[in-house]
Structure 1
Amino acid sequence: MTDPLITSAPDLTELTRLRELARGSHAVITEHQDPGGAYPAAPTFSAYRGYAWLRDGSFTAEGVSRYGDVTSAGRFHDWVDGVLRRRRAQVDDLRAAIGRGEVPSNEAMLPTRFTFAGEDGSDPWWDFQTDGYGLWLWSVVTHATRYGLDLSRWRPGIDVAVDYLVAFWDRPCYDWWEEHVEHRHVSTLGAIYGGLVAIAPHTSAPVLEVAERIRRLVDAEGIEDAHLTKWLGDSAVDGSLPSCIVPFGLVARGSDVASETLTAVARDLDVDGGVHRFTADVFYGGGQWILLSALLGWNLAAAGDTSGALRHLRWIAAQADEQGDLPEQVPHHLLHPGSRDEWIARWGTVASPLLWSHAMYLILADELGITDRVD
């Protein structure tokens, strides 16, 4: 028998609780936002403390933008713009090297995470990832469009991101999870595609030409058994793949590939509403990720499956602790429980609060129309 709480609309008591978590999520994000505008990935977690990712931050900015907080999102976009302005010469040097037929090293590329001052990190990291630059373009254009803002405010940084992606979009790099630098990852290509299509009306760069090349490449090498795959030439799925449908549009909503991708992710990675990253995940034992549950729910809501989306929203809300904090992942249904202790010994307990988790809750709650936005 189907649980009526999964299929029924929230009653007033539940709606109040879900809205309170949204208010708390916004408060967590804005409380920890750096004065310079950066969103820390997690304010207390040993490996994330003091750093901001373009990927995490761009989704976080979208969450607070949807919640009605124009100022906080704008401050983040101001920060990214400032960071990328200062990388103009580095990108020009990289493009010049390509023009000379050279192949820059991964260490020469732009980083995936920055200190709050916009500098490279001082400790080793899996730093070459291009998805965040596409994600930021999508996020800043979406925010500006939502509120009728002039993109010239962020134009220098936008131009740097566009030039970087046009030159290096097809280069293998680390994925969303900072793994497998040797592959070209479908979710990374999707984020770049989404960013380039978003910025296309606002630039003379050949971004639509590159976007079409991405689409053709994924069509040819990133689909297996009618669904998107973790990387080109693979057959497995990844919890990040729904982003290629909503919000990035690499795959059209309602298409056969979109439907099969959501089905495959749910079949292989969704347990009771919580979504794993991928079946071989050993990070903290391979738990269920808040943000991926929200991403799948977002796609379900966009496809008209309100009850399916509510199932994920309710699961997320149930993971909040007594303070209303949402972690990065939870240890339910661990895929590889024997590896959990080694990560705790290395980095401490799982990151909480994770700002990206809170932002994705805001996005899904807004998609379902149950937030009380700030003025």
Structure 2
Amino acid sequence: MTPPSLHDHSLRVILDNQQPAGGYLACPTMPDYRYSWFRDGAFIAYALTLDGLNEEVPSESSQWHSAVRFHDWCAQIINGRAEALERTIDRAQQGQPLALADTLNARYEDGGEAGPDDWPEFQLDGPAIWLWSVAQYVDISHMMSLPAAWAQAIDLTVRYLSAVRQHPCYDCWEERSDDVHISTLAAIYAGLGAAQRLIPTLQTEATRTAIRAFIMEKGLTPSGELAKSVGLDGVDANLLLVALPVDGLLAPDDPLMQSTVARIERDLLAVGHGVHRHLEDTYYGGGPWVLLGLWLAWYKTQIGDNVAVRELLSWAQSHADAEGNLPEQVNDAMLAPSYYEYWVARRGEIANPLLWTHAKYLIALHGIQAI
């Protein structure tokens, strides 16, 4: 089914691009991506947590060691921002405007310094996915007790997300900053649930109930699927995260999840099985994303659709370069081809290798082994 070398290369790309303090470079070859994101890294750490189970002694694996280093890094950054985040929590609770300087950045340098200011920084899904990823590590590794720094960061992140969850922010593609995004709310829902399992005294259930009720009232398209954002009649492939294992908003086989995925496949599945982000996408011409094809494969493993998983994995494997690197997206079947050269001139060639893509490959590979 799978070239063993692509698994091994994916693992090596990830481990080789973990920085000394613990963050993962999103992509080592693109200057704008030479930073570490909570979101990308959380999924990468989850992929390594799963992959470590293949080792004879998982607790001694390089994969689990790497995941712990990432979670340490996140906790250090969050705790280092404690005073600023407390000010944000206070402002939000008093109904005052937020100060961007007192929120969590989306991307950081390895030493904890925030990335340059000219970037869409206010994103809430990243720290939420980190909470979920930490809980997955604790569950899978059977960690006996939380490190004190992790517990402190989890508590602060829960209170921060609970306070600001209704504020418009950038989505996971760093677009549409004035919208409230269903995928972001679903990420917060999952993160809060995961955090409460780790620290039961956090009592996040009321907030999660409110998030679910809001989504069911405001977050559906006219035809009844989950919407990309409140008030929009359209889907986004990032809605696949609504079915995150254990703490996700919807079970993979929930009728609402199934209808949403059906529309994603109808509207966004490209010929050959790559997946577009959304129909308005112009980034690098709006090509199909290898990352998203693999994310769809991950979802298909959750519902036991072995045929679809193999087709999606095969398509992704066919887009690895001679070294085995997997890109962010490819430039065939573009939605807006006139924009391709614009982005190449602005940022260089499509990000390759993208660590998040390699992580999704490892996740999907692990999932098919369980079917």
Matched, 1:117 2:111: yes
SS in 2 for 1:287: coil
Structure 2 equivalent of residue 57 of structure 1: 41
Quote the Cα distance in structure 2 between the aligned partners of 1:107 and 1:179.
19
Structure 1 residue 246 displacement after superposition = 3.0
Q: Secondary structure at the match of 2:108?
A: strand
Q: Which of 185, 199, 213 in structure 1 is aligned with 2:195?
A: 199
Give the equivalent residue in structure 2 for 1:38: 23
Q: Which residue identity does 2:33 align to in structure 1? A: Y
Q: CA RMSD in A?
A: 1.5
Q: Which moved more, 1:186-195 or 1:113-122?
A: 113-122
Q: Is the 8 A contact 2:93 2:163 kept in 1?
A: no
- The alpha carbon displacement at 1:107 in A equals 4.4
Contact 2:20–2:110 (8 Å) recurs in 1: no
Equivalent-residue separation in structure 2 for 1:110 and 1:246 (angstroms): 23
Q: Match for residue 256 of structure 1?
A: 255
Q: Which residue of 2 aligns with 1:66?
A: 50
Post-superposition Cα deviations, 1:151-198, rounded to whole Å, max 9, x if no partner, equal: 235112111211111111111100011010110101111111111111
CA distance in 1, matches of 2:251, 2:363: 20
Contact conserved, 2:26 with 2:36, CA < 8 A, in 1?
Answer: yes
Q: Pick from 178, 181, 206 the counterpart of residue 185 of structure 1.
A: 181
Amino acid aligned to 2:136: T
Residue 221 (structure 1) aligned with residue 226 (structure 2) = no
Contact 1:131 1:191 in 2 (8 A): yes
1 or 2 for the larger relative contact order (CA 8 Å, sep ≥6)?
Answer: 1
In structure 2, which of residues 118, 134, 139 is the aligned counterpart of residue 145 of structure 1? 139
TM-score (norm 2): 0.93
Deviates more, 1:73-82 or 1:117-126: 117-126
CA shift for structure 1 position 109: 2.0
Question: What is aligned with 1:358?
Answer: 358
Percentage of identical aligned residues: 37
Residue 315 of structure 1 aligns with an amino acid whose one-letter code is W
Which aligned pairs between 1:1-375 and structure 2 lie closer than 5 A?
10=1, 15=2, 17=3, 19-49=4-34, 51-68=35-52, 69-149=63-143, 150-153=145-148, 154-201=150-197, 202-224=199-221, 225-247=223-245, 249-271=248-270, 272-369=272-369
How does the TM-score come out when normalised to structure 1?
0.92
Aligned-partner Cα distance in 1 for 2:363–2:252: 18
- The one-letter amino acid of 1:208's match is E
Distance 1:358 1:67 in 2: 12
Would you say the 8 A contact 1:141–1:151 is kept in 2?
no
Greater displacement, 226-235 / 241-250 = 241-250
Residue identity in the other structure for 1:56: D
Q: Is the Cα contact below 8 Å between 2:125 and 2:184 reproduced in 1?
A: yes
Larger CA deviation: 89-98 vs 53-62 = 89-98
Superposed structure 1 runs of 4+ greater than 4 Å apart: none
Residue 46 of structure 1 deviates from its aligned partner by 1.8
Encode CA deviations 1:282-308: one digit per residue, 9 max, x unaligned.
Answer: 000001112211111111111111111
Aligned amino acid, residue 33 of structure 1: Q
